Chain A
Amino acid sequence: MENVVVELSRLQFALTALYHFQFVPLTLGLTFMIASIETVYVITGKIVYRDMAKFWGKLFLINFAIGVATGLTMEFEFGTNWSLFSHSVGDIFGTPLALEGMMAFFMESTFIGLMVFGWDRLSRGAHLAITFLVALGSNLSALWILIANGWMQHPVGAKFNPDMMRFEMTDFAAVVFNPKAQAEFVHTTIAGYVAAAMLVLGISAFYLLSNRHRSFALRSFRMAAIFGVLSSAAVITLGDASGRADFATQEPKVAAMEGIWEDTTPPAARWDIVSWPNQAEMKNEFSVGLPYVLTPLITHTMDTPIKGLRTIVEENKARVDSGIDAALSLKKYSQTRDPADLVAYRANESDLGFGLLATEFAPDFDLSNITPDNRQQIINETAKASIPDVWVSFYAFRIMVGLGFFFFVLFSFAAYYSLTCKLESRRWVLHLAMWSIPLPVMATLYGWITAEVGRQPWTVYEQLPTFISPSNHSVSYMVFSLAGFVLIYSSFIAIELYLMFKFARKGPMIEGSPEPISAGAGAPTGASANESWK
């Protein structure tokens, strides 16, 4: 496999996945917000809540359409661009994808039609039930997708079968209840709730700033602020849990995220806020941090040592060494089917992935070309490449975490001023809320980068290297598809943003007759109901 094809395949997948993932988090959260608003409508019977549900539903749909369209790409790319990956892990990885379609995506997509078009054809209760099914469907979708992704991060319940040359499922329950997948699921979906809360908060703030749709905007703002405080607090707590799951299963990822090269020793190590990692020499050029923070942050103790990347690389050398033997005897077995070769393979099978990782550094990308003369050098290069890119992991992680805390603070102020009815005299909160609309989406993208770059150089952690996973396309095929995606996706994002802005600016259409604002809506100026509908 040529390096350039591998890099182009990775680039295409990263671009299409990041693009898709701009729209999904909003979907996850908005459905639940809409369902909550509609619940209030069904209970109180106030038309303003139905208008709210319809208005946010419209923005949701513009966003949902592009999420669906770009989601198709993701599913098909596994087959079209990652054929060895698909063959090798389809037995496990394909199952959650198929279940997602059967259990979740079907439900969401079928009922979304009724949710939009069924207002006049269904009773209030039935429509509310439909809205909840859509919300449930989108969140179940996320669950199954993250079970698939979690398996790539922490492959459990599966075993490599040398006769079939693939991984096979041995324990379905272990795949579904993978602790890594569950930690990822809650963290990621709650991040989606934060994104949705910020969208509603920001657009409501925009109406309040321009003094339009006051009653509508005050209600939406308060709902979003409360939703946001809860979800951003949860996202921070669950992020900590997700980090702990990483520490238990993927030490190199944690070490890269924190830029730890040397093992930490008691007492607690320093947490670097800024640093300049030098991957080639395996050290930080400089760093600035807080003393005694890192160890309790990661381990929840003061003295547990954390492995540095230098130690991990040293330890991996032995695994590469035996992995090369495993891969060579596996190749021999695939040609001879001789039980003796199978026995030789079995002796080192747990390190097979590390042997395959050496393919990238073997002459002509063929392990058979490893000789006693070049072996040690290849082992050293492979081991050095067995850890993630520290620079990207370190900063992507910090941006995500920084934004997460910022959201919590912003939502707290928003909720406090909204509940004390001082909102409209605290215009900085409104401005900040409006300009923060895109930030949660950015935070989730950086979270995705942290998780996926942190898994490199593996598609399936320590089992299947990224380098050998793609389809062996020609460079021209890859250029063709990449150009197509860039062209189509960039026009779409322009259109999508244009429409989101257009309908957000235009605001909700108020169908119901004006009604008095309840005290809860908080009108500090004491404006009469009619005035606030201007």
Chain B
Amino acid sequence: MEIYLFLKLAWFALLGILLIALAVMVGMDMGVGALLRFVGKTDAERRSALNMIGPHWDGNQVWFVLGGGAIFAAFPTLYATAFSTFYVVMMLLLFSMILRPLAFEYRSKLESVRWRDSWDWMFLISGAVPMIVFGAAMGNVLQGVAFRFEWTAQYILEQSFLWYLLNPFALMAGFLSLCLALQQGAAMLMIRGEQPVYGRARTYGSTAGLIAAVLFAIGGVWVSFMHGFTISGTVDGGVASSPMNGPAVEMRVGAWLDNYRSYPILWAVPAIGLISMVLAALSLRMNRSVLGWWLNAVAWAGTIGSVGVSMFPFMMPSTINPSQSLTVWNATASELTLGWMLVAALVFVPTIICYTSWAFAVMGGKRQISDMETLTEEDEAY
């Protein structure tokens, strides 16, 4: 296999891994944030919940930063086009993400009830909004976006922002992503929490998992009736190619199922997603919280994997000039950049996973709600 072709495929796979890691780790923190007001009725209960992810949220958030950086370097045109065509939603995402580090750091610094209550709402916003936007972005790329390129490679968008913000399929994908995050957060709250936080998390987590399974199933049926894209021209993945003069692309209903028709084994990916959502919900119900956490991670992998498998090789199809769609073949960086980046990723991603696991092990164990009642401003706690 030509080296450039291999690098492109490797980076498509790595992008998937990064998105899954981002969804699992950041989603977990966001789930806890969004559930905070519901699993904790007293201040001590809420603080115990916050301190379960307290030592980790910052490190987890870097998956989000790394996701952005990796798309920038490995898929520069995708980064440029997707981030700016989704401008309004990206700004909402940013505004809500900015709230989160501050909510953590500042919430418990003052005793005032109103102060803490306001920051708890910030946690809700900064947990729910980004996860909805994350899912909605996936929902939108599945439907295609009305962009084309000028000769300078500057994009032109011919679509109202309301449509890509508020179309029903994108919203459904957004809620699916929110439900998965709530379930992940609930699993963590069960692993490190005690009653009554534990019991409430168990209820919310298992319910969210079942709703996610229903939304995922509906989404699957919906996609089969949706306009999909296939490359009808010829492509050589082993050479540099630009979206400005891409191959002919055909747009037709059901095309997103073509890959499954060619390789029926791929049906395993959405099946694993759906089954693990249900199993995760059952595990939480049966108090197997660690198992539930991992099954939920598998559910994320199945969901994001399904999008990747359905769309491959497309990453961001264009509805007004399909031949300028961004694909794995034409939206990637140069061979040299992909190569250096791959070397770095092979060294550092496993290293990151090692020390992250160690950090979780060091900070393991249940958080006692009674400890939170006696905290002073001097204690290291959120």
Contact = CB atoms under 8 A, between A and B. Distances in A.
A274 interface: no
Nearest to B96: A488
Interface string B327-371: 000000110110011001100110010011001001100000000
B54 A164 contact: no
B62 A109 contact: yes
B154 A83 contact: yes
Contacts of B152: 84, 165, 468
Given A114-B359, A121-B363, A169 B62 contact: no
Contacts of B341: 95, 98-99
Given A116-B55, A495-B102, A472 B76 contact: no
Given A101-B69, A471-B87, A94 B76 contact: yes
Looking at A94, A116, A506, which has the most chain B CB atoms within 10 Å of its CB? A94
B340 A172 contact: yes
Interface string B1-42: 000000000000000000000000000000000000000000
B236 interface: no
Contacts of B82: 79
B69 A169 contact: no
Contacts of A428: none
Nearest to A61: B105
B151 interface: yes
Nearest to B58: A109
Nearest to A506: B377
Interface string A94-127: 1101111111011101111110111101100000
Interface stretch (B171-179, B216-224, B237-245, B274-282): B237-245
A65 to B, nearest CB: 4
Given A69-B100, A103-B348, A488-B98, A79 B79 contact: yes
Contacts of A116: 55, 380
Contacts of B95: 484, 488
B81 interface: yes
B294 interface: no
A118 B68 contact: no
B83 A80 contact: yes
A166 interface: yes
A263 interface: no
Contacts of B380: 54, 116-117, 119
B189 to A, nearest CB: 18
Nearest to B379: A509
B91 A484 contact: yes
A117 B378 CA distance: 12
Nearest to A126: B362
Contact of A87 (B57, B153, B344): B153
B94 A91 contact: no
A131 interface: no
B286 interface: no
Nearest to B155: A83
A129 to B, nearest CB: 12
Main secondary structure of the interface of A (DSSP, over half): helix
Interface residues of B, number: 74
A79 B68 CA distance: 9
A492 B103 CA distance: 11
A335 B150 CA distance: 10
Given A72-B97, A80-B87, A88-B153, A110 B72 contact: no
A94 B101 contact: no
How large, as a class, is the contact surface on chain A? Answer: 35 or more
Nearest to A122: B362
Interface in B76-125: 76-77, 79-84, 87-88, 90-91, 94-95, 97-102, 104-106, 109
B88 A98 contact: no
A234 to B, nearest CB: 30
Contacts of A65: 101-102, 104-106
Contact of A79 (B83, B106, B156, B161): B83
A92 B76 CA distance: 10
B156 A472 contact: yes
B72 A163 contact: no
B285 interface: no
Given A110-B355, A165-B242, A80 B90 contact: yes
A337 B345 CA distance: 36
B61 interface: yes
Most buried by B among A117, A337, A503: A117
Contacts of A113: 54-59, 359, 363
Contact of A118 (B102, B355, B362): B362
A99 B378 CA distance: 36
B62 A66 contact: no
Task: Give the residue among B102, B151, B340 with the most A Cβ atoms within 10 A.
Answer: B102
A461 to B, nearest CB: 19
A329 interface: no
Interface string A435-479: 000000000000000000000000000000000100111000100
A62 interface: yes
A161 B239 CA distance: 14
Contact of B58 (A68, A91, A93): A68
A8 B359 CA distance: 43
A259 interface: no
A83 B152 CA distance: 11
A102 B359 contact: no
A520 to B, nearest CB: 27
Interface string A66-90: 1011111101101111011111111
B80 A84 contact: yes
A203 B368 CA distance: 35
A94 B65 CA distance: 12
Contacts of A335: 151
B359 A69 contact: no
A161 B153 CA distance: 12
B70 interface: yes
A430 to B, nearest CB: 26
A265 interface: no
A91 B94 CA distance: 24
B73 A90 contact: yes
Interface string A286-313: 0000000000000000000000000000
B76 A110 contact: no
Given A86-B76, A122-B362, A477-B88, A492 B102 contact: yes
Interface string A327-351: 0000100110100000000000000
B106 to A, nearest CB: 6
Among all A-B residue pairs, the 5 with the closest Cβ atoms:
A90-B76, A79-B83, A94-B73, A113-B55, A110-B59
9 contacts: A61-B105, A79-B80, A80-B84, A84-B80, A90-B77, A101-B69, A113-B363, A166-B77, A502-B109
Given A87-B77, A165-B152, 19 more contacts: A69-B100, A72-B94, A73-B94, A78-B72, A80-B83, A90-B75, A92-B337, A94-B76, A102-B345, A110-B56, A113-B54, A114-B363, A118-B362, A122-B362, A169-B336, A169-B337, A468-B152, A495-B102, A509-B378
